[in-house]
Amino acid sequence: MARIPRSRGERGLHELYRDDPERADALVFGRRRFVKGAGLAAMGAVLGMKIPFARTMPAGLIPAALADEVDWARLLGADGLSVLNDRPINAETPPHLLDDDITPNHLHFVRNNGLMPDETDPATWRLEVDGEIEQPVTFAIGDLERRFEVVTLALQIECGGNGRAGFDPPARGNQWTVGAIGNARWTGIRYRDLLAAVGVKPSAVYTGHYSADRHPSGDPDKEVISRGIPLAKAMREDTLIAFAMNGDPIPMTHGAPLRVVAPGWPGSTSQKWLNRIWVRDRIHDGRKMGGKSYRVPARPVPPGAEVAEADMRIIEAMPVKSLITSPKTGHHMEPGSNLRVRGHAWAGDRAVRRVDVTLDYGATWRRAALAPPPNPGSWQTFAAVLHLAEPGYYEIWARATDEAGIAQPMVVPGWNPRGYLNNAMHRIAVTVA
């Protein structure tokens, strides 16, 4: 398992159990001397099954399934993903496993800021809505399904730090390469329909989201993450409050039983385990809305520069980007063969206008066939055929251009302290022999 510089408060499972086993029990599973109640539910959620003899399990004993250098992705039903951190769980998808137009649940990247909740029963889950509305309202998931139109949309979610590993000097945080992106079919209600029903006041400008995940420190009074979006983003037709993913209830790792899906914006705005919406008369000031979290310098700065908080801006729509998903990098072929290149492109709140590919480092470009999105908020699939006549080493690069005429850069774009928004062209290696 890869080890990377951890954010403050993030420690690996094995590190915790080595230093203080019984405290690790309390932090990770919520158990003290015996596994019971919420602690039992939490441990069962991690292992993916119930523990029949849990009450006789000694305190401070890490489950054997987790005791070795475990394949966390496989354990969580995400076989093939690369795990960057085990507490909280963060895992990305290799590009060649993202070839499907719709990303299967088990291949969708996982980004958590905290530890998964103990209890996520859809039957008892409640969503509170308050703030700048006519009066506070509480909804059960069944209420949402009965009162509002239920829609299913293909929507992409990308971590704001996708591509962080490409920054120099390195930026602190999970070292995502290119696989913190997925495009699933999400089922739920339009956020705007909910807001219309609760009677949003003219003073409302922003939302604040809250969730049931647990802080890595184990302190129940500490907030993990509470981000929000401008009211204008919440009112878009493709912003959802979702309760299903690819036709099934949302998996635990992806925010069961209820989450926001705000496509085209940093994944942190798509709050998992959603249990409260606070409609605000100002920009939301919850956890990870300030400082350098999900913010970039308002103007270009030299690499490694210190940037004052007042000079940072909140990330909103993500930049135009593309990903080659076929063939897999390292592909071998015979001279004179045709290479079929396939991938996906996306551009925040905009559509992608064109995708071009090159095999000679940008000296010449060939326009790829580009499919329209099935709906706003989805990525688009591209395909091209390249003829590789001579033996040798080739690199295939892809460049997407959005409908505003903005194209991907060849190199990593402007440096920022947290390594956000790297939309440099993706490239793969091909050998001909």
Per residue in 378-396, is it b (16+ CB within 10 Å) or e — as a string? bbbbbebebebeeeeebeb
pLDDT for res 133? 98
Both 205 and 306 in one domain: the answer is yes
pLDDT for res 406? 98
Both 308 and 326 in one domain: the answer is no
The model's pTM is: 0.85
19-30: pLDDT as tens digits: 666 666 665 555
Both 300 and 376 in one domain: the answer is no
In a domain, 114, yes or no: no
98-114: pLDDT as tens digits: 999 999 999 999 999 99
Tokens of 318: 């993500």
In a domain, 106, yes or no: no
pLDDT for res 388? 95
Kindly tell me the sign of the dihedral angle through the C-alpha atoms of 72, 78, 83, 89.
Answer: negative
Beta carbons of 262 and 219 less than 8 angstroms apart: no
Both 180 and 148 in one domain: the answer is yes
Q: Which portions of the chain are predicted below pLDDT 70?
A: 1-78
How far from chain centre, in Å, is Cα 417?
19
pLDDT for res 269? 98
In a domain, 102, yes or no: no
In a domain, 176, yes or no: yes
Both 214 and 157 in one domain: the answer is yes
Q: Look at the chain and report how many structural domains it folds into.
A: 3
Please give the residue range of the domain that contains residue 11: 1-67
Preceding omega of 319 cis (within 30 degrees of 0): no
CATH number at residue 137: 3.90.420.10
pLDDT for res 361? 95
In a domain, 218, yes or no: yes
How many other C-beta atoms can be found within 10 angstroms of the C-beta atom of residue 237?
A: 14
Nearest to 351 by CA among 323, 381, 316, 326: 381
In a domain, 271, yes or no: yes
Number of helices (H) and strands (E) in the chain: give both, helices first: 8, 23
Dist. CA 195–CA 201, nearest whole Å? 10
Preceding omega of 220 cis (within 30 degrees of 0): no
Report which secondary-structure segment, H or E, holds 194: helix 191-198
Q: Among 314, 329, 362, identify where a domain stops.
A: 314
Both 294 and 415 in one domain: the answer is no
pLDDT for res 2? 36
How many other C-beta atoms can be found within 10 angstroms of the C-beta atom of residue 14?
A: 18
Beta carbons of 322 and 382 less than 8 angstroms apart: yes
Dist. CA 318–CA 297, nearest whole Å? 15
Beta carbons of 322 and 93 less than 8 angstroms apart: no
Both 334 and 425 in one domain: the answer is yes
Kindly tell me the sign of the dihedral angle through the C-alpha atoms of 102, 106, 108, 113.
Answer: positive
| β pairing state of 274-280 and 248-249 | unpaired
Dist. CA 386–CA 186, nearest whole Å? 35
Both 393 and 291 in one domain: the answer is no
Both 345 and 297 in one domain: the answer is no
Both 335 and 309 in one domain: the answer is no
Dist. CA 142–CA 140, nearest whole Å? 5
Strands (DSSP E) contained in 145-285 are: 150-158, 181-190, 206-211, 240-245, 248-249, 259-261, 274-280
pLDDT for res 118? 85
Burial class (CB in 10 A: 0-12, 13-18, 19+), 150: middle
CATH number at residue 405: 2.60.40.650
Dist. CA 127–CA 275, nearest whole Å? 4
- Residue 245 neighbours by CB under 8 Å, 6+ apart: 105, 108, 184, 185, 186, 187, 251, 254
pLDDT for res 112? 95
In a domain, 363, yes or no: yes
pLDDT for res 368? 98
Both 56 and 197 in one domain: the answer is no
Q: Among 274, 296, 314, identify where a domain stops.
A: 314
Dist. CA 356–CA 313, nearest whole Å? 31
Dist. CA 294–CA 417, nearest whole Å? 10
In a domain, 74, yes or no: no
Both 289 and 225 in one domain: the answer is yes
Q: Among 67, 82, 102, identify where a domain stops.
A: 67
